């Protein structure tokens, strides 16, 4: 029996698999070692999952997460999960989850467009090149957090269409001071900003919104995808923004002469296939 977890900054998806079958599937809040201590992560996992998850003995627990790119951050997650599950743990990045879930054992370019964004060239086994994401302040082009940041700034400065600003304030009941406090004074500002991307989906037929989304996704291609050999390998996308804005994503891709053959909201289905068909790596924890 294996437990697979895939975590972005907003939510964590868990799948319990027995052989080739999924026996349980659930969600908890997002986990990120950049923003949470070992104790906070342990508490989140313990309170988020049903109690029976901790009474099983797992052959392996695979955890893929945002912020799990360095040995130090992986150690924070690994130590937290070992304490909870008493089982061998493998901790890897959400980017490797995207690559394994989207490409399995094939070479190609895997892209994440969710709360944050990232990309890599995957050779069918390992990530061999990665253009740094840099987070929502310096990077994360195409992400929900950056979309939300740009739109919120336009609303606060009065640059978005007046009717859209009015609809936005009616829906969220938020003041400028509340918004600034959430961005600069509270935990997980990227989560807060990304919530506004869902508002934009509802108004995609508005020219301002379409152009905002289009330009943001175009920036992702220019600053990330075009740094790989994108004309000779498949390019596949995962994440809520990629999935919900797939029509705009296709429009942008056409500008670069790219045909996207796969867009999924979550890599979990692909990860389950990967881990039921491949020999599991040796645990590090």
pLDDT digits (tens, 9 = 90+) for 209-240: 999 999 999 999 999 999 999 999 999 999 99
Q: Are 271 and 280 in contact (CB under 8 A)?
A: no
> Between β-strands 2-7 and 11-18, what pairing exists: parallel, antiparallel or unpaired?
antiparallel
Which stretches in the chain have pLDDT values below 50? 279, 282-283
Q: Are 228 and 236 in contact (CB under 8 A)?
A: no
Query: How far are the Cα atoms of 230, 240, 273 from residue 152, in angstroms, in the given order?
Result: 32, 19, 39
In whole angstroms, give the CA distance from residue 142 to residue 149: 11
Q: How many domains is the chain partitioned into structurally?
A: 1
Burial category of 50 from C-beta neighbours within 10 Å (exposed 0-12, middle 13-18, buried 19 and up): exposed
* pTM listed for this prediction: 0.83
Q: Are 148 and 256 in contact (CB under 8 A)?
A: no
CATH code of the domain containing 49: 3.30.420.40
Q: Are 236 and 110 in contact (CB under 8 A)?
A: yes
- pLDDT value of residue 284: 57
CA Rg, the chain, in Å?
Answer: 19
Coil, strand or helix at 106: coil
Please report whether residue 38 resides in a domain: yes
- pLDDT value of residue 285: 53
User: Which segments of 62-206 does DSSP mark as H helices, in order?
Assistant: 71-85, 94-103, 135-138, 144-157, 162-172, 176-184, 189-201
User: Which segments of the chain does DSSP mark as H helices, in order?
Assistant: 38-48, 71-85, 94-103, 135-138, 144-157, 162-172, 176-184, 189-201, 207-223, 240-244, 246-255, 268-277
Nearest to 77 by CA among 59, 89, 94, 95: 89
Please report whether residue 92 resides in a domain: yes
Please report whether residue 16 resides in a domain: yes
- pLDDT value of residue 123: 94
Please report whether residue 123 resides in a domain: no
Please report whether residue 118 resides in a domain: no
Q: Check residue 227 and report its DSSP letter.
A: G
- pLDDT value of residue 176: 87
Please report whether residue 189 resides in a domain: no
Please report whether residue 233 resides in a domain: no
Domain span including residue 86: 2-98+268-277
């Amino acid at each position: 029996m294996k437990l697979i977890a895939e975590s972005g900054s907003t939510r964590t998806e868990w799948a319990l698999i027995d052989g080739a079958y999924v026996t349980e599937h659930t969600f908890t809040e997002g986990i990120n070692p950049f923003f949470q201590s070992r104790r906070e992560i342990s508490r989140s996992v313990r309170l988020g999952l049903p109690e029976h998850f901790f009474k099983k003995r797992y052959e392996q627990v695979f955890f893929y997460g945002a912020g799990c790119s360095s040995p130090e951050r992986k150690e924070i997650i690994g130590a937290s999960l070992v304490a909870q599950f008493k089982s061998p743990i493998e901790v890897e990045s959400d980017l490797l989850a995207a690559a394994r879930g989207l490409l399995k054992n094939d070479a190609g370019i895997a892209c994440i467009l969710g709360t944050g964004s990232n990309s890599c060239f995957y050779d069918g086994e390992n990530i061999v090149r990665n253009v740094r994401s840099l987070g929502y302040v310096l990077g994360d082009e195409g992400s929900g957090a950056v979309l939300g940041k740009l739109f919120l700034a336009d609303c606060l400065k009065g640059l978005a269409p007046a009717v859209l600003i009015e609809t936005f304030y009616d829906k969220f009941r938020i003041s400028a001071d509340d918004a600034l406090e959430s961005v600069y004074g509270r935990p997980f500002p990227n989560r807060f900003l990304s919530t506004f991307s869902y508002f934009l989906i509802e108004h995609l037929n508005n020219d301002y919104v379409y152009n905002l989304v289009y330009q943001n996704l175009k920036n992702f291609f220019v600053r990330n995808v075009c740094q790989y050999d994108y004309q000779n390998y498949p390019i596949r996308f995962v994440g809520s923004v990629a999935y919900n804005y797939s029509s705009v994503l296709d429009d942008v891709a056409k500008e670069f002469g790219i045909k996207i053959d796969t867009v999924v909201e979550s890599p979990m289905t692909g990860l389950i296939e990967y881990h039921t068909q491949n020999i599991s790596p040796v645990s590090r924890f």
